[in-house]
A and B are shown apart, each in its own frame.
Chain A
Amino acid sequence: MAGGLVGCQENLTTPGQCPDLCPGDRIVVRDTIISAAAGADSTYVGYTPRAARQVLLVSDGLAAGEYRSFVVFNKHSRDSVPVDGTNRVFEIDTVAISFLVEVRDTAVKNLHLYFYRIPIATDTTATFDGLESLLNPANLLDSARMNDTLKTGRVEAIFAGDRMATVLPSAEDSGRFGVGLRVRADAPTGVRIALDPLQLGSGPLFEYRGTALAVADTSKRRQRLQIRLESVARTGYVQNVDLAENRDPNLLYIGGPQAARSLLRFAVPAFIRDTAQIVRATLLLTPASPLAGLGNTRVRDSVGALGVVVDLGAKSPTTTFGFVPRGGLVEGTASVASVDVYSLVANWQTAGGAPQAIFLQHSDETLGGGFMQPVFYSTRSPIGRPQLRITYGVPTKPGQP
C-alpha cells in the first residue's frame, strides 16, 4: 500500500503514429496573412519631449542626416574644494571636459570629437543652422580622439598651462560654461553620447584638477572638482533632417526627433480569434526607402510593437508593462522588418481582451531619438502594406472513442 501511495509518478507514454493509432484528429497547423485594416493606420508625433532626451547625437556626413549637440555646465565656484568636510583653497592646474560615447560605428576609424565654446544661453529652442553657425574655428576649444578599438568609452579633452584660460568660465556667467559638439572621422559617421539624467556618473563632465592648500595629509592634496550639466533645458541635439516634419499621409513614420509612432489596426477573422490556437504571429513592415542610420553598432535599431489598452487613436494607452516585442531593422537596406507579436495577438483572443491595434515605435524613442527614422508603407500604399502573418492550429475537439 505504501508503494501505491508513494509511487504515484506515472509514465504512460506509448510510441504512436497518428492517425493510425491516435483516436481523433491531429492538430492541423495553418498559416495565413492578414492585411492591416485599410485606411485605419496613422502616424502621430510628440511622444517624447525634447527636454526628456537622455542622449546626445552627433554626426558627420551620415545619410540619416547631420546632428550637432550642445550642453551647458552648471554654475559653480572653483576657488575651494571640500577635503574631509572642510573647504580648502583650490589651486587649479588642469581642466578636463569629457563625454561618454555609448554607441559608435566600430568600422569607422580615426574618430574625433570636437569641442566648441558656445553661449550659455543656448537651450532646446536652438535650431540646427543656429548651432552650426556657432561651431566655427573661432570657437574651437579642442578635439579628442577615441581609440579605434573601443566600442564605448569616455572621450576627454585636457586643458593645462596657457590653454587652460580658454575654458575657464567668466565671472559674469557664474561659472556656467557651454560646449557644442561636432564629430569627424575617416568616413561619414555618428556617435551617441550619454546624458545620464539620473546622475549615475556617465554624463558629460567639466572637471577641475589641482591642489588643495593647507592639507596636512599629502595624499589628499591632489583633488578634483566635477561640474555637471545645468538642466535638461540646456542640453540636447539638433538635426537637419526630420522625415516626420512634412510627412506623406500615405506612409507610416516612427522615431526621429519628434518621436513618431504609427498605429495599425487589424480585423482578425472570428474563426481564428475565437477558436484557433495561435502558435506564431509576425508583423511584416516594408520600408518605403532604404533605412538610413548608423551601421556597425553594438545596439541595433529595432521597431517595437505595443498593444493598446483602449483604442483612442493617438492617445491610446499602451500595454507598456513587461516585454515589448521588437523586430530588427537592417541599416542601409529596405528589407522587410519582422516583429514577433504573438503576445499581443494572443491577448486579442481573451474575452474582453485588448483591441486589435498595434502601436509601432522606434526602440530609441525612450532615449529621445536615434539616427534612423524608419518610414514604412501604409495600407494606402500600392505595395508593401503592413501585414500580420498568423500561424495557428485548428481545434480538433479530442475525445473520440
Chain B
Amino acid sequence: MTRAFVVACGLAVLAPSVGVGQSSQFGVRGLGIPIRPLSPRAVGVGGAFGLFDLESSVNPAAPGSVTVFTSLLTSTQNFRSSTNPFGKSSGRDSRFPQILVAGPIGGTNVAAAISISGYTDRSFVLGTQDTIELRGARVGVFDTLSSRGGLSDIRLAGAWRVSPTFHVGLGFHAITGSNRIQNSLHFADSSYVPTVEQTEISYLGLGVSTGFTLRVVPRLTVAGSYRNDGHVNIERDTTRIAKTDLPTSMAVGIRWLPSERVMWAAAFQRRGWGAADRDVKLQRGIGAEDTYEVSTGLELVRDPRNPGHRPWRFGAHYATLPFPIRADRQAHEIGFSIGSGVRFTQGRGGVDLAVQQVFRSDGGGFTERATVVTFGISIRP
C-alpha cells in the first residue's frame, strides 16, 4: 500500500493536467457533457460492469475485491461528426479520462483507491459568420467562442470486505477544474484588429459516495451506490461569481455468470442534475434536467484462469444528457461498444481496448456521431 500511496500522490500532483472526456456540441451548455468514470473494460461492456469494476470509479465498494496493488492509466481518442441547423463539422480530440491506483491495506479487510476521473467536459469551439455595419459599411465578421477544460473528480475511496460476499465502501470526492474560455471576433477588413476576450472559470466542490457489492449466490452479484456531490463554487478569474448545485446519484446493477466463460451485467443509474436547474438559469443558462442511464454488456472469456486475457466484450447503453442546447429539448445518447484486452507477465501487466460508437441527438436537428477509442494500461507490480 505504501507504493500505492506514493503513486497516488504522484497522480494527485498531475491532476491539473489530466484532461477529461470528449468534446461535443452537447457539452456547450451548463457544466458540459457528463463523463463516465469507467475503465476500458467497463466501457467495452457498455458501462454495465462499472459498479463491479475496481478500475472504475462508480462504486466505492468495488476496490474491496482488489488483492494486489493495481494501477490504471487510460487514454481516449474521440472522432466526432456534428450536425446542426447551421452546418456540419468533424472534430477530434484526445483525453486521459481515468487514472486510478488501488490496493489492499495489509493485515486488514480494507482496500483503498485513489482516482482522477472526468466529471464533465466543456471543450468546444463555436464558429459563426456574419456581417455587421461599421462606419457606414458592411463588414464581414467571424465570431469564435471556444472553451477548453471541464470538471475532474478526484476520489479517495475505502472499501471494507465485511465478508467474502459483501463489500461496502465510502468515497470522498473533490470536484475541481476550469474552463478557459475565449470569445473572439475577427473582421474581414484588416483595418480592424481582432478583438479577443479571455476568461477562466474555475470550479471547486466536494462530494461523498457510498456503495456495496453483494454476491447473492455464487453466480449472481448485485451492487449499488449512492452519491451526493453537494454544490460547486464557481469563480471567474479568482472572483467568486456563483455556485451550482450538483446532483445526487443512485445506481444499481446486477452481474450474472451463467458459465465460467460468460459474464453478463446490467445497470441503471439516475442522476439528479435537475438540482442544478435553478442555479444554471440564474447564471443565464438554459437549465438542467435529471438524467438516467441504462446499460448492459457481455464478456466472453477464453481462459477462465486468466479472464482478462483476450476476452470479447460487447455492450450498449442509453443515457439522457443534463444540459439542453435549447429549452425543453433534452438530448440523449445511444452507444454501442466492443472491446478486448491482453494480460502478460503472469497478469502483472495488461492493456485493454474499447471502441464505442455513440449517437447523440436532441430530436431537433442537433445530432452527433462519435467514435471513441479507449485504451488503458494496467499494472499490478
Seen from chain A, the residues whose Cβ lies within 8 Å of a Cβ on chain B are 1, 3-5, 7-18, 20-24, 26-27, 29, 31, 277-280, 340, 342, 346, 389, 391-393, 395-401
Contacts and interface: CB of A to CB of B under 8 A. Distances in A.
A26 B143 contact: yes
B323 to A, nearest CB: 7
A336 to B, nearest CB: 13
A391 B134 contact: yes
A23 B29 contact: yes
B179 A399 contact: yes
Contacts of B193: 278-280, 342, 346
A14 B82 contact: yes
Contact of B87 (A15, A392, A393, A396): A15
A381 to B, nearest CB: 24
9 contacts: A12-B23, A12-B124, A14-B25, A15-B88, A16-B128, A24-B284, A27-B143, A393-B185, A399-B236
Contacts of B238: none
| Most chain B beta-carbon contacts within 10 A, residue among A10, A16, A392, A398 | A16
| Most chain A beta-carbon contacts within 10 A, residue among B195, B283, B373 | B195
A14 B185 contact: no
Interface stretch (B43-51, B90-98, B218-226): B90-98
| Most chain B beta-carbon contacts within 10 A, residue among A12, A29, A346, A397 | A12
Interface in B179-198: 179, 181-185, 187, 191-197
B146 A7 contact: no
B21 interface: no
Contacts of A1: 73, 75, 351, 375, 377
A340 B191 contact: yes
Contacts of B280: 401
B30 interface: yes
B91 A13 contact: yes
Interface residues of B, number: 66
Contacts of B326: 20
B127 interface: yes
Contacts of B181: 398-399
- 6 shortest A-B CB distances, which residue pairs? A4-B75, A15-B87, A16-B126, A401-B285, A393-B195, A277-B195
Given A14-B84, A31-B134, A401-B283, A396 B183 contact: yes
A11 B145 contact: no
Contact of A23 (B92, B96, B285, B377): B285
Given A7-B77, A31-B135, A12 B85 contact: no
Contacts of B127: 13-16
A4 B40 CA distance: 14
Contacts of A7: 77, 92, 94
A346 B199 CA distance: 20
| Most chain A beta-carbon contacts within 10 A, residue among B128, B132, B194, B199 | B128
B89 interface: yes
Nearest to B87: A15
